[in-house]
Amino acid sequence: MTDILVYVPNSGKHAAEVLTLARNLGDVAAIAFDDAAEGLAGEYGAAKVYRVEAPEAADYFVDPKATVLVDLARQAAPDFFLLPSTDEGKALAARVAVALDNGLLTDVSGLEADGTVQQDAFAGATVVKSKATKGFTLATVKSGATEPAPAASSPAVESVAATVSEADKRVRITQRVDEPAGDRPSLADARVVVSGGRGVGSADDFALIERVADSLGGAVGASRAATDSGYYPHKFQVGQTGTTVSPQLYVAAGISGAIQHRAGMQTSRVIVAVNKDADAPIFGMADFGVVGDLFQVLPQALEEIEKRK
Ligand SMILES: Cc1cc2nc3c(=O)[nH]c(=O)nc-3n(C[C@H](O)[C@H](O)[C@H](O)COP(=O)(O)OP(=O)(O)OC[C@H]3O[C@@H](n4cnc5c(N)ncnc54)[C@H](O)[C@@H]3O)c2cc1C
């Protein structure tokens, strides 16, 4: 049986996706640093959980965690070691690759049993298949690579006690600032995302995008043109240089559908586009398209949604 190590950072959708993908390849041993991550591993079919007790690790950058991951990878000698493609996941994977002199494949969107991975290049226009030539398949997996599918298991839990060495204390975290959580779901995890583009025309008019998102219980996204124009904060940008989303429903209003935008939303289950230009490229990928002025179309859509609630 194929042995797969998975680093589970939290109980979010991205981590659930990586566990689902891994479970389809073989026996999963999850590495969890807290209860939430341990719980998720059991919900998504892990056969084993390495439960790391290293409270001090949270006070430092990724180095203490990387040391634990390197030790576990040495000990488990897996066929695959998968991490979510987040800033933390990539920082950890890079350290594991260097420490073990192992190959590393980042931003993977698919995996095959023989270790071949799929990566999207040129903003998704080209699919590249690669395989590491050195060591096991160490890869970071992009958000949206698969739909998370729960499969409850009762994993065997192995407790791992880790102390933080002086060498791993080079970068200490001195302050954490919690962003006030709004009422909307987070962009990366939302089942519905309603995004506005340059066609929205102003920051004030983004209120209409927010109203549609709220009526559907979704998150608000924006194109880069919209964030660069100051219509909406940069952290809500969807695309190649923003967040990658993969919701059940993606609504693009006043967005032309540039390749860099598509790169961040093309795996959405159902795509609805509203654009006044019938030739806008977004219609080439939309499941449903409305050619029209978003200021006429969206209020009518809102009315219908409210009627059906
Ligand atoms: C390296 C690089 C990285 C990039 N990364 C990203 C990224 O991560 N995300 C991203 O989004 N972009 C990214 N871009 C920018 C990208 O190339 C496009 O410029 C951008 O996506 C365009 O945004 P837009 O569709 O909102 O604007 P536009 O292309 O200007 O399109 C606006 C659309 O709104 C329509 N419209 C106007 N008024 C209305 C109305 N009243 N009702 C209905 N429709 C209307 C127009 O017909 C048009 O189709 C990147 C570019 C580069 C070079």
Task: Give 267 Cα–ligand 1 centroid separation in angstroms.
Answer: 18
Task: Tell me what the mean pLDDT of segment 11-27 comes to.
Answer: 94
CA of 90 to the centre of ligand 1 (A): 28
Determine the Cα–Cα distance for residues 102 and 265; give it in Å rounded to an integer. 31
Share of the chain above pLDDT 90, in %: 86
Q: Please choose, from the candidates 129, 150, 120, 118, the residue with its C-alpha nearest in 3D space to the C-alpha of residue 23.
A: 150
Q: How far is the CA of 84 from the centre of ligand 1 (A)?
A: 28
What is the spatial distance between Cα 252 and Cα 254, in angstroms, rounded to a whole number? 7
Q: What is the pLDDT of residue 277?
A: 98
pLDDT score, position 69: 98
Residues 195-213, mean pLDDT to the nearest whole number: 98
Q: What is the per-residue pLDDT across 130-161, written as a single tens digit (0 to 9) for each?
A: 999 999 999 999 988 898 999 999 999 999 99
Q: Which atom number of ligand 1 is nearest to the Cα of residue 293?
A: 42
Mean local confidence (pLDDT), 220-233: 98
Measured CA to CA, the distance from residue 141 to residue 138 in angstroms comes to 10
Instruction: Tell me how far the alpha carbon of residue 109 lies from the centroid of ligand 1, in angstroms.
Output: 24
How far apart are the C-alpha atoms of 291 and 211, rounded to whole Å? 20
pLDDT (0 to 100) of residue 126: 86
Residue 158 β-bridge partners? 50
- 277 CB near ligand 1 (under 6 Å): yes
Q: What's the average model confidence in pLDDT over 194-205?
A: 98
Q: Which amino acid is at 85?
A: S
With tokens 């566990």, the residue in question is 19
Tell me which residue has its CA closest to atom 2 in ligand 1: 260
Cβ neighbors of 236 (< 8 A, separation 6 or more) are 187, 220, 221, 222, 227, 242, 243
| pLDDT attached to residue 96 | 98
- The stretch 23-52 carries a mean pLDDT of 97
| Structural domains in the chain plus CATH codes | 3-169 (3.40.50.620), 192-307 (3.40.50.1220)
- Would you say residue 7 has pLDDT above 90? yes
54 neighbors 68 (Cβ within 8 angstroms): yes
Give yes or no for residue 242 CB within 6 A of ligand 1. Answer: yes
Which residue of 204, 276, 279, 296 sits with most ligand 1 atoms within 8 Å of its CB, as the best mutation to test the pocket? 276
What is the Å distance from ligand 1's center to 225 Cα? 5
For the chain, percent of residues with pLDDT exceeding 70: 99
List binding-site positions.
198, 223-224, 237-241, 254-261, 275
Q: Which of 143, 204, 224, 262 to mutate to test the pocket of ligand 1 (most atoms within 8 A of CB)?
A: 224
User: Band of the pLDDT at 170, cuts 50, 70, 90?
Assistant: very high
Q: What is the pLDDT of the chain when averaged over all its residues?
A: 95
Query: Which spans in the chain are helix H?
Result: 13-23, 35-43, 63-76, 87-100, 206-215, 224-228, 259-262, 294-307
Place of tokens 């995008």: 209
